[in-house]
Amino acid sequence: MNNFTFSELGEKIQGLSGRVAILTHERADADTVGSSVALSYILSALGTDSIIVSPDGIPLRLMFLSPKTGEVADADTVISVDVPSLSQLGKYAEIKDRILFKIDHHHRSEEYAPGYVDSSCAAAGEIIFDLGEALLNEGIITELPKEYYEAVYTAISSDSGCFKFSNVTPSTHIRAAKILESGIDAAEINRLLFDSKTKEEVAAARLAYSALNLYRDDSIAVITFTIDMQKECGADSRDLGALVDIPRSISGVLAAVVIKESAPGEYRVSLRSNGDLDVSLVAAIYGGGGHIRASGCSINAKTPEDAEREIVSSVISEIEKQGIK
């Protein structure tokens, strides 16, 4: 899966020149944004200009990271961070031949570009932190600003579920401890990530509870969130990222699913596992991917009801294939 070693990654980062566009994935989360922002500070310390480019924009809740955004057309070089598949580049999938390399941590990472992938990391932010530490220790850069540490901590805390997910390792905690030594306000970052919601997100959650359906003896919980529901609560797709926590929080649920209608006949699916089920295999059926316990994909269906039936059928089939009771 890796096309080069970590040492070679460092060399490639140092070799970047001109203006670099750092691509995030669609429906950008705090790992892809935080990692990209942190990497931009590393590049700045190396004397290289960079911009963050997101296919559908940076969510308002992550603007506290103050990303310097732009367009691919304004860049000389393109790389991607935390993007496991070509489909997750959205409208930028068509420029895949311009992507010099990728940095990723997903265990099923599509080889759409050469890259460095470390699936032992809970977040892409862990790779970026290691990169920053290596460059500092080697004396190639002399310091990184507080904003760098805030961004990389945001990435790691987010993708580890504030350090409660099963992807967390001792190394995750060690990296976080080193970051805390920089003096950042981790409590405030975690409040912004996990405890701060817009009124649109609260309204969306209210509607989501009313749309909750349970299947397979209540072991599969599904919420289908339609365009009409989005209009009713005044939310857009960027306000719906946390909805999957609702079905996932139900006791006894093995698989949690949120299906978001993005356009008539088009749906974005978020999948979560509370046990041994590998939901990335469900996502892979539809050209998506991600982690064993957190993945996503897109599907087409005539109606929201058809989309829900399709996904539930695929989840049940995968549960049976994997021999899970």
Q: Where in the chain is the domain with CATH 3.90.1640.10?
A: 6-194
Q: What is the pTM of this model?
A: 0.88
pLDDT along the chain (325 residues), means of 10: 86 97 94 98 98 94 95 96 92 95 91 94 98 98 98 97 94 98 98 92 94 97 97 85 93 97 95 94 90 91 98 97 90
Give me the residue label for tokens 């580890």: 160
Residue type, 314: S
Contact call for residues 51 and 144 (beta carbons, < 8 A)? no
The model's pLDDT over 159-186, given as tens digits with 9 standing for 90+, comes to: 999 999 989 999 999 999 999 999 999 9
User: What pLDDT score was predicted for residue 2?
Assistant: 61
Q: Where in the chain is the domain with CATH 3.10.310.30?
A: 199-321
Among residues 188, 194, 182, which one has the least CA distance to residue 148? 182
CA distance 110 to 121: 17
CA distance 145 to 213: 47
CATH number of 199-321: 3.10.310.30
Contact call for residues 243 and 204 (beta carbons, < 8 A)? yes
Contact call for residues 162 and 190 (beta carbons, < 8 A)? yes
User: What pLDDT score was predicted for residue 117?
Assistant: 95
Integer-rounded Cα radius of gyration of the chain: 19
Q: How many CB atoms lie within 10 A of CB 69?
A: 16
By residue count, the chain amounts to 325
Pairing of strands 77-81, 115-117: unpaired
Fold of domain 6-194: inorganic pyrophosphatase (n-terminal core) (3.90.1640)
User: What pLDDT score was predicted for residue 235?
Assistant: 86
User: What pLDDT score was predicted for residue 120?
Assistant: 95
User: What pLDDT score was predicted for residue 72?
Assistant: 95
